């Protein structure tokens, strides 16, 4: 086995790995590649992964990804976790042909079922065009059968075993864990150069010496937005595995794979894709687009969007998929203005849009005493058309009619108090249940209107009461 150099693996615990100088430093120490944590289980996504991958690429180092598994011996969940890892790998810029690692660390379950679940995961990785790699600790070898995994998937082994927990700058090869004759890399420390970061030695070039491969499959979710109550998705997908699969579908599921809807679609011309990826068959006619009814069941979910080629007119059968994800938990709001009138009212205007507002037809604006943690007043409001918000927030449901105007009773007793405005959509008429809120930043209750001593204000009132203040001004109460 040759030594192809060192490789680091990083996660959200190393946000500094998004910076070029981080990798410059490690490259000077002999590091030739980086392995980035992308995902975990069926829900976690490393928010720094795209930046970390981009930084590794910028420095000309080899880049790989890994998924931290939680499926144990559950093959069904293993496939769901693989789909998440693949979708995020595409989105985060991990190139086709790069290693995508199954990180298997849970010391639970049975050897046979754990092995079969690992095989199910790694088969998905391989089918998606990534290099399957199996990672675990040497002390867990009784919980999986690597020979069976390798035989079924071709996955190479990246093994972890630490001779010492102290900081080291090179591996003590006398402690090399002889788990398999096909071990590709050894993670020999979690304290490389005393910086508490995982370091491995690449023995076969899997993480540092991979020759650049032709890209023969790829896709991207270019667009996801709302048109009234419709969810519109579009993008492209082309693959050398699409030959003979003449039916094209867009499918929406939740992150567990439960389907919401599917549509058979005609492919659209994409000359831009053909120009960027000349080695992908069918790239020039690879566009996908569909419009779905947005439902309450989708709200609050992380949806998976499948672009599919299949030999089955119903959209099942022998299929090749590209999977991406969209987040249906988004909200945005802004308080445009606030003023106090001579009529002793606090006027507020703004907008609030939320993916979670579907089916919640009752709208309220609430005046809240933030210091006392007490609701002061609640006003039911009508939606206000906001085409400017719809244009800026296409990806959030209900943005077109997200505006509101509200007026609250207001007097000198609230001046200077710590107040807060809450915008609410509710499924109940009183607004006390089935609701989604946006809490605007607290503010100090504004002063009552004060004349400047020069401007004359004329109004009609039924009763007037005047109090002289300590500073010489007068407080006029009219009704």
Look at residue 213 and tell me whether its pLDDT is greater than 60. Answer: no
DSSP 361-378: -EEEEEEEETTTTEEEEE
Rounded distance between C-alpha atoms, residue 298 and residue 285, angstroms: 30
Task: Please determine whether the domains at 5-202 and 217-327 fall in the same fold group of CATH.
Answer: no
Q: Which residues contact 259 (CB under 8 A, 6 or more apart)?
A: 251, 252, 253
Rounded distance between C-alpha atoms, residue 130 and residue 86, angstroms: 9
Indicate the SS3 state at residue 118: helix
| CATH class name, domain 5-202 | alpha beta
Rounded distance between C-alpha atoms, residue 464 and residue 371, angstroms: 32
Q: Using one digit for the tens of pLDDT, what is the confidence trace for 45-72?
A: 999 999 999 999 988 899 999 999 999 8
Instruction: Write down how long the chain is.
Output: 479
Q: Using one digit for the tens of pLDDT, what is the confidence trace for 66-108?
A: 999 999 889 989 999 999 999 999 989 898 889 999 999 988 8
What pTM was computed for the model? Answer: 0.59
Residue of 129, 122, 169, 167 lying closest to 146 (CA atoms): 122
Who has greater pLDDT, 211 or 240?
Answer: 240
CATH architecture of 217-327: Sandwich (2.60)
Q: Which residues contact 441 (CB under 8 A, 6 or more apart)?
A: 420
* Per-position b or e across 58-88, b if 16+ CB within 10 A of its CB: ebebbbbbbbbbbbbbbeebbbbbbbbbbbb
Report the mean per-residue pLDDT for the chain. Answer: 90
Q: Using one digit for the tens of pLDDT, what is the confidence trace for 384-432?
A: 999 999 988 999 999 999 999 999 999 989 999 999 999 999 999 999 9
Q: Using one digit for the tens of pLDDT, what is the confidence trace for 119-129?
A: 999 999 998 88
Q: Which residues contact 94 (CB under 8 A, 6 or more apart)?
A: 36, 38, 53, 63, 64, 65, 100, 130
Contact 345, 408 (CB under 8 A): yes
Q: Mind spelling out the 3-state secondary structure of 271-304?
A: HHHHHHCCCCCCHHHCEEEEEEECCCCCCCCEEE
Question: What was the pLDDT predicted at 128?
Answer: 87
Look at residue 453 and tell me whether its pLDDT is greater than 90. Answer: no
Q: Is 469 exposed, middle or buried (0-12, 13-18, 19+ CB in 10 A)?
A: exposed
Who has greater pLDDT, 322 or 352?
Answer: 352
Residue of 38, 35, 60 lying closest to 48 (CA atoms): 38
Q: Between 1.10.287, 3.40.50, 2.60.40, 3.30.70, what CATH number should domain 331-444 receive? A: 2.60.40
Query: In the Cβ-directed half-sphere of 304, how many Cα atoms lie within 13 Å?
Result: 24
Q: Using one digit for the tens of pLDDT, what is the confidence trace for 269-288?
A: 999 888 877 888 999 999 99
Domain boundaries, given as residue ranges, for the chain: 5-202, 217-327, 331-444
Q: How far is CA 248 from the centre of its chain?
A: 26
């Amino acid at each position: 086995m040759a030594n192809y150099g060192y490789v680091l693996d990083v996660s959200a615990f190393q946000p500094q790995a998004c910076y070029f100088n981080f990798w410059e430093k490690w490259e000077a120490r002999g590091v030739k590649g980086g392995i980035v944590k992308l995902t975990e289980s069926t829900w976690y996504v490393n928010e720094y992964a795209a930046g970390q991958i981009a930084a590794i690429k910028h420095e000309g180092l080899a880049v790989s990804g890994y998924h931290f598994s939680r499926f144990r011996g559950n093959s069904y969940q293993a496939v769901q976790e693989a789909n998440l890892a693949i979708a995020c790998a595409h989105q985060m810029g991990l190139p086709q042909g790069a290693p995508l690692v199954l990180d298997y660390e849970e010391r639970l379950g049975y050897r046979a079922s754990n092995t079969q679940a690992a095989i199910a995961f790694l088969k998905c990785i391989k089918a998606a065009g990534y290099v399957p790699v199996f990672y675990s600790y040497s002390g867990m070898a009784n919980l999986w059968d690597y020979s069976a995994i390798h035989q079924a998937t071709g996955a190479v082994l990246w093994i972890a075993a630490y001779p010492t927990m102290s900081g080291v700058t090179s591996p003590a090869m006398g402690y090399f864990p002889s788990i398999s004759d096909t071990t590709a890399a050894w993670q020999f420390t979690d304290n490389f150069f005393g910086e508490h970061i995982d370091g491995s030695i690449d023995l076969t070039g899997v993480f540092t010496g991979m020759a650049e491969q032709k890209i023969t499959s790829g896709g991207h979710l270019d667009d996801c937005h709302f048109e009234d109550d419709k969810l519109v998705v579009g993008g492209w997908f082309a693959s050398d595995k699409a030959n003979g699969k003449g039916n094209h579908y867009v499918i929406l599921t939740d992150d567990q794979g439960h389907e919401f809807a599917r549509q058979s679609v005609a492919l659209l011309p994409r000359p831009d894709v053909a120009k960027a990826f000349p080695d992908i068959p069918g790239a020039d006619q690879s566009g996908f687009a569909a419009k779905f009814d947005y439902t309450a069941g989708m709200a609050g979910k992380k949806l998976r969007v499948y672009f599919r080629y299949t030999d089955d007119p119903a959209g099942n059968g022998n299929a090749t998929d590209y999977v991406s994800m969209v987040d249906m938990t988004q909200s945005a709001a802004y308080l445009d203005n606030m003023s106090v009138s001579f009529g002793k009212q606090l006027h507020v205007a703004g907008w609030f849009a939320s993916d979670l507002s579907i089916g919640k037809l009752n709208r309220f604006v609430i005046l809240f005493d933030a210091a006392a943690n007490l609701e002061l007043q609640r006003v039911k409001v009508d939606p206000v058309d906001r085409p400017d918000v719809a244009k800026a927030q296409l990806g959030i449901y209900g943005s077109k009619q997200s505006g509101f105007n509200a007026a609250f009773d207001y007097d000198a007793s609230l001046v200077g108090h710590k107040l807060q405005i809450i915008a609410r959509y509710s499924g109940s008429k009183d607004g006390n249940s089935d609701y989604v809120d946006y809490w605007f930043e607290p503010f100090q209750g504004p002063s009552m209107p004060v004349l400047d001593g020069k401007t004359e204000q004329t109004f009609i009132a039924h009763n007037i009461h005047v109090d002289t203040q300590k500073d010489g001004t007068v407080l006029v109460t009219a009704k």
